[in-house]
A and B are shown apart, each in its own frame.
Chain A
Amino acid sequence: MKRRDFLKFSASTALALAALDMDKKGGFFKAATSYAKETGSLPGSLGAKEVPSVCEMCFWRCPIVGKVKGGRLVKIEGNPKSPANGTRVCARGNSGVQLVYDPDRLKYPLKRMGERGEGKWAKISWDEALDEVAHNMDKVRKKYGPHALAYFDHGASAEFTREIFKALGTENYSSEPAFFQCVGPVAIAYLDTMGFVVSGTRQYIDMANAKAILLVASHIGENVHVSHVKEFIEGLSKGAKLVVVDPRFSAAANKADIYLPIRPGTDTALLLAWINYVIQHGLYEKEFVERNCIGFDKVRAAVKDYTLEWAAKICDLDVKDIEAAIKLLAENRPHVAVHPGRHSTWYGTGDVERHHALSILASIFGAVGQKGGIYFPTPVKKAHAHCAACSEEHEIEEPDVSLRDNFPFVEPLPGTPTGAIIEATLTGKPYPIRLWGINGVNIIQTIPDPYKTMEAIKKLDFIYCEEMLPGETAIWSDIVLPSATYLERYDALHAYDGLTPYLTVRQPVIEPPFEVKTPYWIAKELAKRLGLKCFTCENEREFIEEELKELGHSLEKLNQEGGLITIKPNPYRSPDKLEMPTESGKILLYVEDYEDEDLDPVPRFVPTPAPPKGYARLIYGRVPVHTFSRTMNNLWLHNEWPENHAWINDQVAKKIGIKDGDEIVLENQDGRRSNPVKAKVTPGIRPDCIYLPHGFGSKSKHLTKAYGKGASDQFLITKTVTDPFMGSTSKRTNFVRILKGEKALEIPELRPVPKEIPRFELKRA
């Protein structure tokens, strides 16, 4: 190749090119600073630099080590220093590599160009994006008052911006689906009875040392939280007996000594009958109860009519099995892990009661503060950095009518119920909500009745989100801010206060690519534009150093020690000196505060309506390789589990002519239909339920791999019941029938419903 100008252009081409001054345009290259090929010659992750950090593929936060070669993340492993997960991470933890380098990830700030929901964008600068967000926040606040701003949040990435919404004075500075669509009822039940959140982000339940374990509809093993699963398996391997109550033969049920395939919606009936049986047969820890519990006699009186025979009928179980199960649990007291549960927003009414009943059962077994029972978190001292929030304490002035007013027990926890925000946005009552900020949560795939959520979004003056991938939230936003993944940022110090406490820190394994920014930077820039004195540190490092300083540490020192410091645990107490963190220092079996609000001070069984004729109840769960809809576009995880299946009872399937693998559509009681989904015909589910693993069936075409794969349970959940304690929304109050082709197939009722349980009434067209 000899000629420099081997292509000869015509005069007109040359003229047009000259008009563009191409010869003066540069800006692509600079002199190299490095000549070496940094990746080296060792294969795979050998010879890689190791950076300790904390996983966020789900929200369990396992300590990890990121392996980096030539500036590129090549592998993720568990941090060997971690006493919780050790070198282990789950499939999702491994797949963080895919998240970072996903060609579909958000790369630049985007501005909506078409209609909301259409997904047409232009790329804009950070200045323009942040100016636009700040301008709209200020405008809406001035025009409609501070409460017109609402913030939906989840995870560590959302924490800084929450401070901005707080500083702007809105009572709606947080609305976490993680609470109102997940742990809300269980968190409240234990807070009000035991004085601490036995189950929220963590479950303080000592399964590793239990002699018997009770799980009521648990996803454990299907929803993998590594150390939690490890503790469960450790307990079983040491011989713990296992009782599983679940309408579906789950992964945990597969390990059970006694499996009770209960009629959905009747768990509290079973628990109350068990409590009664334990009391009547003297199978409780008398001294423990006398010393540590308040309200035992009231409980005894309240449950006296709940017999095992009655429960067997209500729950559709064999009375011998439920008696054997409670005997098995009682024999092993006090070393019984009565698992508090986690996802608890099932039926709206009765959710807090169900977990209250579990709390009573654990307490009368004396299984609190004892090996194998509910244990106490070990407080991990953590200094407060001045610049991780806003420097002045901003008072939030309550509105005349608050969205929290109807929910007497939401008080101790931050946040407004998601349902209340959506309702106010739609109706303008009790006050208008005109701007939503969304951070780290797919509100369309998480909050029940997404159709209503979409209608509410259309009413807003402005909506923006901070996200990593272009899920549904992004396509509905006016401005999309691309946020750093957990592998590209610092977060506040992470203190684990479970059985094996430690202190560690999430820190960037690699630099954020493209124009992606960290949540701290975004919050800082936003605060600046809004004239707020927040986030005064130069960067995240500065406040982490401040947090560490008081502990006599520094980031450098922490990293020299492998990025993690272990702390001596203090989980158990003498049964003589329990000292619960309640006002009285005792467990409240009977909650007087509930009575004051006309709620049941001792749980009472209130049946949830049974499926209408021809329908089955829609239940849902998780698969171990996905975190909700967040990971569906992840190539490795998608490859492992690309679509979900609808579980249908084998006898039902036979009667209506459905075969395993048939493509069906589910239609709910309101006529809403799912994407086509394959049937999984199995005896492992009751005939009155259909089960869908959650997170599939994405409606965002932007997620190339996930779009339209499988069916979304979420889009079938249009009927909700609001919990009266704290405003969470039910997710198991919907019913489906099957469409094959265009033909509607009625689900036969193979397990007759007793007259004590009312039936859901279909709206007739």
Chain B
Amino acid sequence: MSGNGDAFRFLAHGFQYPEEQEFIEIGWEVLKGLSHDLGLPIGQFDTSTELPVLQTEYVRLFINSPTGVVAPPYASYYISRSQLLFQEGADEALCFYREVGMEPESGMEPPDHIATELAFVSYLLDSGNSEHLLRFVSQHLMVWYPKFLDRLLSARPAEWYCQLGRVTGVMLKKIMQEGGVQ
């Protein structure tokens, strides 16, 4: 395990459906800390916000929402020309996982969900496979993440998701910078 791995594992869980109030409360402290460390401004978020409110927001943003899924959290949607799920973007992610002998735990969820991809980053950080990490981030994840983030931010999400999205974006950029990729 590594500190950086833990941080990405946190981001991965942050993009999963929220089910623990405590995770959100402490998680906001983590996001505040990370934002500070990365020099990112941070907005106001009331950590006493009840879980159902954040759950409703999650459904609106990532599952089914009044104006269509705001930001489908899947690589395939952004990478495939058809804007469908389970297409090339999903194949690509799966190839990266399989190259290091891994597969997503749940077979019926698309393999290219943002949470799964961030968890993969944390796994590669922990195992020190920096060559694979750099390839995965620069050739796959960062190909779609900025488009996803744009859609997310333009829907005025709850502050939790706004900050989570921004911090994740900067941290992924840092990986690229560290690896010398522009």
Is A29 within 8 A of B97, CB to CB? yes
Cβ-closest chain A residue relative to B109: A514
The residue that B36 contacts in the complex, of A1, A13, A101, with Cβ under 8 A, is A13
Is B37 within 8 A of A13, CB to CB? yes
A103 CA to B134 CA in the complex, in Å? 28
B110 proximity list for chain A (CB < 8 A): 513
A102 proximity list for chain B (CB < 8 A): 84-85
Number of residues of chain B lying within 8 A (CB) of chain A: 74
A12 CA to B32 CA in the complex, in Å? 10
Cβ-closest chain A residue relative to B117: A28
**B86 at the A/B interface (Cβ < 8 Å)?**
yes
A35 CA to B98 CA in the complex, in Å? 6
A110 CA to B65 CA in the complex, in Å? 12
Q: A17-B10, A28-B115, A122-B59 are in contact. Are A3 and B178 (CB under 8 A)?
A: yes
A705 CA to B83 CA in the complex, in Å? 12
Is B63 within 8 A of A108, CB to CB? yes
A25 CA to B101 CA in the complex, in Å? 20
- Within residues 191 to 236 of chain A, which ones have a CB less than 8 A from any CB in chain B? none
**B91 at the A/B interface (Cβ < 8 Å)?**
yes
Is B108 within 8 A of A33, CB to CB? no
Chain A min CB distance to B57 (Å): 9
A704 CA to B104 CA in the complex, in Å? 29
Q: A1-B130, A107-B63, A512-B108 are in contact. Are A20 and B91 (CB under 8 A)?
A: no
The residue that B174 contacts in the complex, of A7, A19, A107, A514, with Cβ under 8 A, is A7
B59 proximity list for chain A (CB < 8 A): 110, 120-123
B161 proximity list for chain A (CB < 8 A): none
Interface string of B70-106 (1 = CB under 8 A from A): 0010100100001111110001000101100111110
Cβ-closest chain A residue relative to B52: A122
B55 proximity list for chain A (CB < 8 A): 113, 122-123
Main secondary structure of the interface of A (DSSP, over half): loop
A515 CA to B101 CA in the complex, in Å? 25
Is B2 within 8 A of A5, CB to CB? yes
The residue that B98 contacts in the complex, of A8, A32, A106, A107, with Cβ under 8 A, is A32
Is A704 within 8 A of B67, CB to CB? yes
Chain A min CB distance to B143 (Å): 18
A735 CA to B176 CA in the complex, in Å? 64
Interface string of B1-42 (1 = CB under 8 A from A): 111111101101100010000010011011011101100000
**A2 at the A/B interface (Cβ < 8 Å)?**
yes
B141 proximity list for chain A (CB < 8 A): none
A37 CA to B91 CA in the complex, in Å? 8
Cβ-closest chain B residue relative to A7: B4
A8 CA to B34 CA in the complex, in Å? 10
Is A103 within 8 A of B98, CB to CB? no
A34 CA to B99 CA in the complex, in Å? 10
Further 16 A-B residue pairs, CB within 8 A, beyond A32-B102, A102-B85: A7-B174, A10-B33, A14-B3, A16-B33, A17-B3, A17-B6, A19-B26, A20-B26, A31-B102, A32-B97, A32-B103, A122-B52, A122-B56, A511-B107, A635-B84, A701-B67
Question: Nearest 8 A-B pairs (CB), nearest first?
Answer: A704-B68, A13-B33, A28-B119, A101-B84, A1-B179, A16-B29, A1-B130, A22-B6
